[in-house]
Amino acid sequence: MATENKNLSDYDKTTIPNASKFRFGIVVSEWNDTITEGLYDGAYNTLVENGVQPNNIIRWNVPGSYELIYGCKKMQEQMVNAVIAVGSVIQGETKHFDFVCEAVSQGIKDLNVTRETPVIFCVLTDNNMQQAVERSGGKHGNKGTEAAVAAIKMAELRENS
């Protein structure tokens, strides 16, 4: 596992650009909300800890991870410096998991390739609920924290390029 020897919440704050000048959008899937709320909290708290004013963080909810693509596309139009897509897809007994994961990852990739505002992939694609819990504030840290750090770095890259 990618997170087996890494805590997703660990980062060196001295390597993070000053984020006080940036605005961020966070689009959150309501599906598996116990997981997505933990991811949102990790992202939001990390942005604030790195200088982002709370009024410069816009949150929108969408019904599920599949809808993150449209939500992120519309969020890119809101004069934000970066968008974080927050979702959780957990393996079930059907191929639905594969279709949703593929569509969401490709859709977010397409937004990054075709548009100017970066979208950060903070969508857990776990085999079971326990794995999701461990990556949304549990023993492996919080993927939301990692996504917020990436969003700050990408906002800085966009501004300086």
* Residue 66 annotated as binding site: yes
Beta-bridge partner residues of 121: 85
* Residue 65 annotated as binding site: yes
Structure tokens at 91: 């393996």
Element counts in the chain: helices (H) and strands (E): 5, 6
User: Does residue 140 have an active-site annotation?
Assistant: no
Q: Do the beta carbons of residue 58 and residue 90 sit within 8 Å? A: no
- For the chain, the maximum distance between any two Cα atoms, rounded to a whole number of angstroms, is 46
CA 58 to chain centre: 13
* Residue 89 annotated as binding site: yes
* Residue 60 annotated as binding site: no
Structure tokens at 132: 């999701």
Instruction: Choose, from 6, 77, 96, 128, the residue flagged as catalytic.
Output: 96
* Residue 90 annotated as binding site: yes
Residues placed in the known binding site for (2S)-2-hydroxy-3-oxobutyl phosphate: 93-94, 135
Q: Which residues are catalytic?
A: 96
Residues placed in the known binding site for 5-amino-6-(D-ribitylamino)uracil: 31, 65-67, 88-90, 121
Residues placed in the known binding site: 31, 65-67, 88-90, 93-94, 121, 135
